Amino acid sequence: MDMESLPRMLAMAQDKGSKWRGCFMPIKQTEYFVEEKTAEEECLTEMPNFRYIPKAELPPGITQGCTFDTVTIDTSRYLPCLLSEIRRLGCNLIRYNLTHVSQLQPPIIPRKADAIVVCAGLGARHLGGVEDQDCYPIRGQVVLVRAPWYKRGVTRSSRTGDWTYTIPRASGDVILGGFKTDNDWTAHAIASQTTDILERCIAMAPDLMPVAKCTDRDPKVMVEELRKLIVEEGAGLRPARKGGVRIESEDIMLGNGTVTVPLVHHYGHSGAGYQASFGSARLCMEEVARRISAKDTRRQAKL
């Protein structure tokens, strides 16, 4: 799914005259791994211009490193553009507080649905008619700073939970992170974690505060200077699922049990929703088309 989405996003990033201008930023990404062979396990060897970093060039405590080309996404710009695009294609948007998927029938929607696609994220755990107890949150926290001079992406990770990263945006803002905490529903930023993120990011990427911005190279001083650039601190819950992404279907009865409609599940992407979006959407729509086609075939057979 990821490798199907990446070419689409690279093309959108390179189309300077389109509505997507400013949503994407082509960058050179550097990945540092505490353990060996992590790049292969994460399929990074398929990324454009992938190369391993020679062992002699790796920082202390790192056993494997690599670089490749990719894009970053400014989601604050990208989501409004996506919304505009689906409206242009004729999609009608209805806001409603659902407690059960069986509510998705007239008069809440204008006509009987041919199929229902559940893209409820963590809500799939509680939404009536789905109630998937395999869904759970992976809490994250980030810090957004204003640093337009910083143009590269760097990540340091380990299997024991170490996860530090810098993600520059076309706007000049940079996302600093992060945390991965399973089954933590805390949705607000924690001050001590903000400090921890700043300290780790400065240690990994001191060029966040170049000499021109901070002549004193003491890490503590650099952290406090970086703190002055904070635009926002935020926390979020990644919609994870035991067993991974769920793309499968079943039947649901509507109209007091008189109508059968395909219910297609499409959730559980955790923190990979954007990068998997185009490939995942295609798989979902293939399942929708298969179920509608099968339903039409059964109807014709009865006739």
Where are the domain boundaries for CATH 3.40.50.720 in the chain? 96-134+243-302
In percent, the amount of the chain with pLDDT more than 70 equals 97
Classify domain 96-134+243-302 at the CATH class level. Answer: alpha beta
> pLDDT of 190-215, one tens digit each?
999 999 999 999 999 999 999 998 89
Detail the DSSP E strand segments found in 114-194: 116-118, 135-146, 153-157, 163-168, 173-177, 181-182
User: How far apart, in whole angstroms, are the C-alpha atoms of residue 227 and residue 248?
Assistant: 45
pLDDT tens profile 104-129: 988 888 888 899 999 999 999 999 99
Q: Which residues contact 194 (CB under 8 A, 6 or more apart)?
A: 141, 143, 230, 233
pLDDT at res. 297: 62
Angle, in degrees to the nearest 10, between helices 191-204 and 219-227: 120
Strand partners, 266: 247
CATH topology of domain 135-241: D-Amino Acid Oxidase; Chain A, domain 2 (3.30.9)
pTM (2 d.p.)? 0.90
CATH 3.30.9.10 residue spans of the chain: 135-241
pLDDT digits (tens, 9 = 90+) for 146-184: 999 999 999 999 888 789 999 999 999 999 999 999 999
